[in-house]
Chain A
Amino acid sequence: MTAASRPMIEVSGVSKYFGSFRALSDISFTVNDGEKVVIIGPSGSGKSTILRAINCLETIDRGRITVGGMDISDPKTNICKVREEVGMVFQSFNLFPHKTVLENLTLAQTVVRKRSKKDAEQIAMELLHKVNIAEKADAYPAKLSGGQQQRVAIARSLAMNPKAILFDEPTSALDPEMIGEVLDVMKTLAIEGMTMVVVTHEMGFAREVADRVIFMDHGKIVEEGTPEHFFTAPSHERAKLFLSQIL
């Protein structure tokens, strides 16, 4: 992998409290343009919180996060603009149930990007083909399987032409037989050079796709390195223990 040197997402010294509980403590990492970073760690270690913080869904108490050069903790920054540049895919899909698959993809394009309905629909159809679900364009999300819904959700975030996409356990809510179809779409994106930050328990995916693996525990980054290093010779006890439990 060519490690492009331009930083896309920079997290430095970030701490986050929920009341007196410290969910993130002094987190720092950088994701360069085109890089794929996989975050793993036990439940409650702060993985979702850091992703949500990058997308401004969660405020931070200390530190700095910049996305594409924009400082998101600076009150002068237009948060909507930041979110336009960074897509997010949720564990629970969060498709809009009152809209068809096609409308799910066109809504933000027309409302936010101000594209014409026709352009938006054309882009939407191309993306639906890409994630292999074009035939369901006029269906409502409730009629789709979990795997199909998640592929639509990925297409929906792609429709905004994001510079990076954050995935929060995109396959955790899926039946085992549907995990593959979603991971395949994500692998395609990875090959095409999308900048990705993925929280997942799919270790096969991490090994295959990640440029870097970040292991979190109790709100801290415990270990960070290449997948080869992390999976074969993790240096920390907790990482070893976690791997022995999950593999």
Chain B
Amino acid sequence: MIRLALHLPMLNSQSSQNQIEVGDGAAIPHKSDAGLFTAWRIAFFGAIVLCLFLAFGRPDQYMAIFMFIPDGILVTFKVTVGAILLAIVFGLIAGLGRLSNNRFINGTASLYVEVIRGIPLLVQLFYIYYALGRFVKIPDILSAIIAMAFCYGAYMAEIFRAGIQSISKGQMEAALSLGMSRRQAMSEVILPQAFKVVLPPIGNEFIALLKDSSLVSILAVSDLLRRGREYASETFNYFETYTVIALIYLILTLFFSKLISLMEERLNDGR
């Protein structure tokens, strides 16, 4: 559940289209991968059918669970979206820092990436959550989001760094030779191209984050998993509850994988 290492996006030197391959196996279905595509369909629709069957076929055991947990889905969603957006900000800053010629900036960014990637997410969550709680009074959900984002930002930094480095040197040189400053060249020429390259790996991170967000349930955040635990500890229906929780996570992950793959296809058709 906790990822200790993410396979770094590799530069694909053969492809002229500037794509980076990611070895991390978040199963984003692609039309070209027929097997995975079929598996996606079976899993997605199977999970939905199973949910419907449980809710309406065994209403006395399951209906109540389905009624109890929707707040949790909303919280899980909030944590995931909040954390990914913030992680993109952290990642962009740290990624640019890792490419900086300034020793201090580069060193700080590298330290952040190395330290964070060396500590399990769960430990970091506890640590940042309680560290934050000591100094500032902010809502639990916000500390959870910051803690998740801080961790994911380190992985995101490597994605941005690889994405920026995948843009050919000639682009920066052409921009500079037109009199642009490095900063202008970065924001007008390099980053817009890099964003297209990093979108697929960021999609993968989003899916991974959606799953890892279940870790915040051990903090005082009522996400999907925690709502399930609350329900189960009242009713002692552990098996039924966790069946539903697992199915809902599966449906969410598969749904967003599909959405992301559709977005990517759009993007590739664009030009």
Contacts and interface: CB of A to CB of B under 8 A. Distances in A.
Interface in A125-169: 140, 142, 153, 156-157, 160
Interface stretch (A10-18, A86-94, A195-203, A215-223): A86-94
B59 interface: no
B38 interface: no
Interface string B144-181: 00000000000000000000000010110111111111
Nearest to B189: A96
Contact of A157 (B171, B176, B177, B271): B177
A86 B193 CA distance: 26
B213 to A, nearest CB: 33
Nearest to A52: B173
Given A90-B170, A111-B184, A142-B271, A98 B196 contact: yes
Contacts of A92: 168, 170
A57 interface: yes
Contacts of A157: 177-178
Interface SS of B by simple majority? helix
A157 B180 CA distance: 12
B170 A112 contact: no
Interface stretch (A28-36, A63-71, A77-85, A204-212): A77-85
A90 B173 contact: yes
A185 to B, nearest CB: 18
A171 interface: no
B177 A80 contact: no
B162 to A, nearest CB: 18
B177 A107 contact: no
A55 interface: yes
A90 B174 CA distance: 8
